[in-house]
Structure 1
Amino acid sequence: MTVPLFPGGTAVSGLRVYDWESEDGVSGGTPHLHTVSTEGYVVLAGAGSVQTLSAGGAAEHPLAPGTLVWFSPGTIHRLVNDGGLELVVIMQNAGLPEAGDAVFTFPAEILADAVAYEAAASLSQDWPERQREQRARWRRNLALEGFRELRAAVEQHGPAALTDFHRRATELVRPRVERWRGLWAETVEAETERTRRQLEALTAGDGAHLADGTVVRGEPRPGSRLFGMCGRLQTWGPPEH
């Protein structure tokens, strides 16, 4: 029997948002968007906000323990840490964000060059911790340059100012889409199809699948937390068989 996926084919991780201060005096993560995945935050501790650029314009959403907020693809978001901000992150389409669904708000000249973008975005978890931290800080600061320009443009001209960034993001991820189709088919689509078959079986009075019920305990990834886009990540995986 295969190990069941996390509900809905989503991913879950624990996030301690970076407390590194940037040039604007604000501490927090790296602004970016997702091209096909909706992301949700459940706030566990601390205080902060998420700054967004979307069809609704420029906005800031306060975060405090107990807050639940989520946003759909195309929403540029920047996590701000006012002190001890810790979240559980629920991400749609497990595997796709790790395969490049996220696009950073780097300056336009980097977004226009796929090779330059990949060089700027890269961060290997195999590097020594100090090197990873330096790279994550540098990448965050570079993305903030573009984010500040985009935010000023949206405040002046409205959401239409995001059109060019969306176009560049689309071109950057387009070569990856066929791989994404395979990942999605093996996970989210397969889970949806499983539910369809179960509904049909129940309609026919067949509950045989209930005998396959099982429990999975996620095991924390060993070692120190990963350096993610917005903070230090705790991830889990099913036990090895």
Structure 2
Amino acid sequence: MVSLPHPLPGAVGLSHLNAYPWEAADGVCGGSPHLHLVCTEAYVVTGGEGAVQTLSPDGYRDIPLRAGSVAWFAPGTVHRMVQGGDLRVTVLMQNSGLPEAGDAVFTFPPDVLADPERYAARAALPARSGPEAEAAARRRRDLAVEGYLPLREALLAGDNGPYLAFQRAAARLVRHRVPRWRELWRAGALAAAERTGAQLDALEAGDPAYLAESRAFDAGPSRRGGFGMCGLREEYELPGTTLAHQGE
């Protein structure tokens, strides 16, 4: 049974990203386009400027990012962080632990998505840091952009077929992970909501005894310069915050 005793508010995930400066095939510098299946993600921009490119049923959007702006995207939205100049964001992720357990699928070309073993090999990094990991992260980003550009072109032309096909392929790839995700959700986001319900019941009954359990917690990054999907990542490997990535 998974236990997340002291999660962040709402059992959200937290990390910091500095968008990749690497130029892609279309001349744009930035991260690896991908989507999440069950998690809403938010960018809180803390410095620099850039954009997030999104693909959704509404079509293609290029959302400017600058210090103080916030952008978020629901499950199924393909998103690509674009570097415009020292772009730095704090990432808030719904259902902490699920993205690290594989709730993120790159926009690799269809032939890669159709082969789970090939997809896993292309999505994996050989190490957590160092030149070899950086080279693999760049190859992974380039492959994701290769699959992303045709999806974007089709949406711009009014054809959502390739985008919907990608969503279906992504769902097939992660289906086997759902039991593990359900465990993490029950221990994290669901448990946090249920605690609030229990506290409301106690207050309504005139019994604030649960307040005796109050505590303060603090933490710093446990790893800096990790290779995330969108950029160099500062991680907080706390129970229920940013677990070691199991999908890479």
Using the size of structure 1 for normalisation, the TM-score is: 0.94
Listed one character per residue, the Cα deviations across residues 44-84 of structure 1 (whole Å, up to 9, x for unaligned) are 11110000000110110000000011110000000100110
Q: Find the aligned partners of 1:121 and 1:167 in 2 and give their Cα distance.
A: 18
Percent identity for Structure 1 against Structure 2? 48
**Aligned with 2:157: secondary structure?**
helix
**Aligned with 1:118: secondary structure?**
helix
Q: Find the aligned partners of 1:133 and 1:237 in 2 and give their Cα distance.
A: 21
Q: Find the aligned partners of 2:14 and 2:111 in 1 and give their Cα distance.
A: 33
Runs of 5+ consecutive residues of structure 2 not aligned to the other structure: 240-248
Q: Find the aligned partners of 2:159 and 2:70 in 1 and give their Cα distance.
A: 26
Q: Find the aligned partners of 1:219 and 1:62 in 2 and give their Cα distance.
A: 29
Q: Find the aligned partners of 1:236 and 1:111 in 2 and give their Cα distance.
A: 30
Q: Tell me which residue corresponds to 1:81.
A: 83
Q: Find the aligned partners of 1:111 and 1:56 in 2 and give their Cα distance.
A: 24
Listed one character per residue, the Cα deviations across residues 102-140 of structure 1 (whole Å, up to 9, x for unaligned) are 0000000000111111011011444x5000000000000
Q: Find the aligned partners of 1:160 and 1:143 in 2 and give their Cα distance.
A: 18
Q: Tell me which residue corresponds to 1:18.
A: 20
Q: Tell me which residue corresponds to 2:183.
A: 182
Q: What is the deviation of 1:191?
A: 1.0
- Is residue 10–residue 93 contact of structure 1 (8 Å, CA) maintained in 2? yes
Q: What is the deviation of 1:236?
A: 2.0
124 and 91 in structure 1: CA distance in 2 versus 1, 3 angstrom threshold: farther
Q: What is the deviation of 1:3?
A: 4.5
Q: What is the deviation of 1:213?
A: 1.2
Q: Find the aligned partners of 1:164 and 1:178 in 2 and give their Cα distance.
A: 24
Listed one character per residue, the Cα deviations across residues 167-212 of structure 1 (whole Å, up to 9, x for unaligned) are 1011000011011111111111111111111111111111111121
Larger RCO: 1 or 2 (CA < 8 Å, sep 6+): 2
Q: How does 1:114-129 map to 2 (within 5 A)?
A: 114-126=116-128, 129=130
Q: Find the aligned partners of 1:71 and 1:14 in 2 and give their Cα distance.
A: 17
Q: Tell me which residue corresponds to 2:62.
A: 60
Q: Find the aligned partners of 2:238 and 2:105 in 1 and give their Cα distance.
A: 28
Q: Tell me which residue corresponds to 2:210.
A: 209
**Aligned with 1:101: secondary structure?**
coil
Q: How does 1:101-180 map to 2 (within 5 A)?
A: 101-126=103-128, 129-180=130-181
**Aligned with 1:219: secondary structure?**
coil
Q: How does 1:32-43 map to 2 (within 5 A)?
A: 32-43=34-45
Q: What is the deviation of 1:219?
A: 2.4
What's the RMSD between the two structures over aligned residues?
1.5
Q: Find the aligned partners of 2:101 and 2:238 in 1 and give their Cα distance.
A: 20
Q: Tell me which residue corresponds to 1:229.
A: 229
- Is residue 125–residue 227 contact of structure 1 (8 Å, CA) maintained in 2? no
205 and 129 in structure 1: CA distance in 2 versus 1, 3 angstrom threshold: same
- Is residue 219–residue 237 contact of structure 1 (8 Å, CA) maintained in 2? no
Q: Tell me which residue corresponds to 2:31.
A: 29
Q: Find the aligned partners of 1:28 and 1:11 in 2 and give their Cα distance.
A: 22
- Is residue 42–residue 69 contact of structure 1 (8 Å, CA) maintained in 2? yes
**Paired positions, count:** 236
Q: Find the aligned partners of 1:217 and 1:162 in 2 and give their Cα distance.
A: 41
- Is residue 57–residue 158 contact of structure 1 (8 Å, CA) maintained in 2? no
Q: Find the aligned partners of 2:165 and 2:197 in 1 and give their Cα distance.
A: 39
